[in-house]
A and B are shown apart, each in its own frame.
Chain A
Amino acid sequence: MSDTVIRIRNLHKRFGDLHVVKGVDLEVKRGERIAIIGASGSGKSTILRCLNFMEMPSDGTIELDGKLLGTEGRANDGGAARTYSESELCEVRTRVGMVFQQFNLFPHMTVLENVMEGLITVKRTPKGAARSRATEQLAKVGLQDKLHAYPGKLSGGQQQRVAIARALAMDPEVLLFDEPTSSLDPELVGEVLRVIHALAEEGRTMLLVTHELGFAYHFADRVVFIADGIVYETGTADDVLKHPTKERTQAFLARFTERAF
């Protein structure tokens, strides 16, 4: 196994005529924690969502553990989009987990059932083992006393912690966070960030798209600043957030200077 978990080459994403991601190259090392920042509409979420194929890349390649995903194909617009079978995508998604801005919990299942669902239907884990693993993950995010509650009865912060437990239960090699605190009330942000921080300490490979620059600074080994669908500037958290060298990064960060890192 190589040191690189994910390698993206020349990633493009178009939505009709809208060209959102315009050729991104990125390597993610095992155990690395990357924060992806940028203005709204810069394409940062789309890049993340291409990594577990929530969005299908219009062009470019993605390697996972040194294995090139998909097979060569041709998109309708004549681009060199690769084709992916459903079974391959499902397998990739069990290895690259995701936590969404809107949680996307299943409202008709209890907290415990939400976390057990992937284990049972996808990994075919026996019920008893799935239950104990799910309970364990929920304890980790501090929700051991909410096992039988329905998501609708929980606060936003609690729901997001369930979503994190659900992703963790699959034991993914890489965990993607798509603005996990953006739809939370300010007083609930802290509890979610603490959970993510604890995972970082465990040495998990994680990519985080966020507007919480202060958190990004403490969380990330590396910060990637996205502008106009390309990697505009990248480096250590210190480099990019404290001493940005490029003009647009500086302009973007100027709005946050009053914040202490």
Chain B
Amino acid sequence: MEYTWDFKVILDSFPLLLRGLVVTIELWILAFAIGLSLGFAVSLARVSSRGWLNAPAIGYVEIFRNTPVLVQLIWFYYAFPIVLGAQLSPFTAAALSLTLNTSAYCAEIFRGGIVSIARGQWEGAKAIGMTRAMTMRRVILPQVLKRMLPAFTNRGIELAKVTSLASLLAVNELMYQGRLLSSTYYRPLEILTVVALVYFVLIYPGSYLSARLERRLAARD
């Protein structure tokens, strides 16, 4: 087992890996920002007492949670364009499926938070004439957002990891660049290890933050 590591390869490939990292981050920001807002909308439908809003929202959430995310990516890249009648670029297909996937999980986080608030809070707000929307914004959300923060951070971490699947659609993000470089130089050990480490450096602060948040919130209760 006399393997000689070639560190020069790592230095040579670093600029391309960084370029991949930028695409990873772009994908992450896009999917997280839209996924959060869309997830909130879905959660509103999910907590609605109207069946025609509620049932599709349940279906939406369950479909995304009960199928592998890679299958979702593949479906949006290869199958969806057929009903759409237009080809999607790999980046668009990846961003779209990751956004929808994230929104389904975020919807469940929002829903959990919203239903955790006692009914009395809704009634207290109603009794002074506040509308449902006002109550949500001024009374319910301010009380639950802090509590939901660790769950959202975890979702962000999962999303950061899942962006790597876009490489399988040939989106030129970090993992894709890593695979490309490792076959170009034929140095998969060095390059894939470095790719793993870059992801670690990117994601670890998030999970450290999430663990601390969780402990702080637990201590306060």
Contacts and interface: CB of A to CB of B under 8 A. Distances in A.
Nearest to A93: B129
Contacts of A97: 127-128
B123 A86 contact: no
Contacts of A102: 120
Interface stretch (A20-28, A103-111, A230-238): A103-111
B126 A121 contact: no
Given A106-B139, A108-B142, A117-B138, A86 B131 contact: yes
Interface string A209-223: 000000000000000
B131 A90 contact: yes
A33 to B, nearest CB: 19
A68 interface: no
B118 to A, nearest CB: 8
A104 B120 contact: yes
Contact of A118 (B120, B123, B129): B129
B71 to A, nearest CB: 40
B129 A94 contact: yes
B121 interface: yes
Q: Quick one: which of A106, A166, A167 has the most chain B CB within 10 A?
A: A106
B124 A121 contact: no
Contacts of A107: 143
A98 B143 CA distance: 22
Contacts of A89: 126
A135 B120 CA distance: 24
A90 B129 contact: yes
A218 to B, nearest CB: 26
A86 B132 contact: yes
Contact of B129 (A103, A104, A105, A170): A170
A121 B130 contact: yes
A100 interface: yes
A149 interface: no
Contacts of A239: none
B134 interface: yes
Interface of B is mostly: helix
A167 B128 CA distance: 7
Contacts of B124: 100, 103-106, 163
Q: Quick one: which of A52, A89, A90 has the most chain B CB within 10 A?
A: A90
Q: Quick one: which of B121, B128, B131 has the most chain A CB within 10 A?
A: B128
A167 B130 contact: no
Nearest to B135: A121
Given A122-B128, A166-B128, A100 B123 contact: yes
A91 B129 contact: yes
A54 B125 CA distance: 11
A121 B134 contact: yes
Contact of B127 (A52, A108, A123): A52
A104 B143 contact: no
A93 B132 CA distance: 13
A52 B129 CA distance: 10
Q: Quick one: which of A97, A118, A166 has the most chain B CB within 10 A?
A: A118
Contacts of A98: 127
Nearest to A95: B129
A106 B141 CA distance: 12
Nearest to A169: B128
Given A108-B142, A117-B138, A122 B130 contact: yes
Interface in B35-79: none
Contacts of A93: 126-129
Given A91-B129, A100-B123, A102-B120, A108 B134 contact: no
Interface string B133-177: 010001100110000000000000000000000000000000000
21 contacts: A54-B127, A89-B126, A90-B130, A90-B131, A93-B128, A97-B127, A98-B127, A103-B124, A104-B120, A104-B121, A105-B124, A106-B139, A106-B143, A107-B143, A117-B128, A121-B130, A121-B138, A122-B129, A122-B130, A122-B134, A170-B128
Would you list the 4 A-B pairs with minimal beta carbon distance, nearest first? A104-B124, A118-B128, A94-B129, A104-B120
Given A121-B134, A122-B129, A166-B128, 18 more contacts: A54-B123, A90-B131, A97-B127, A100-B120, A103-B124, A104-B120, A104-B124, A105-B124, A106-B124, A106-B143, A107-B143, A108-B142, A108-B143, A117-B128, A121-B138, A123-B129, A163-B124, A170-B129
Interface of B: 120-121, 123-132, 134, 138-139, 142-143
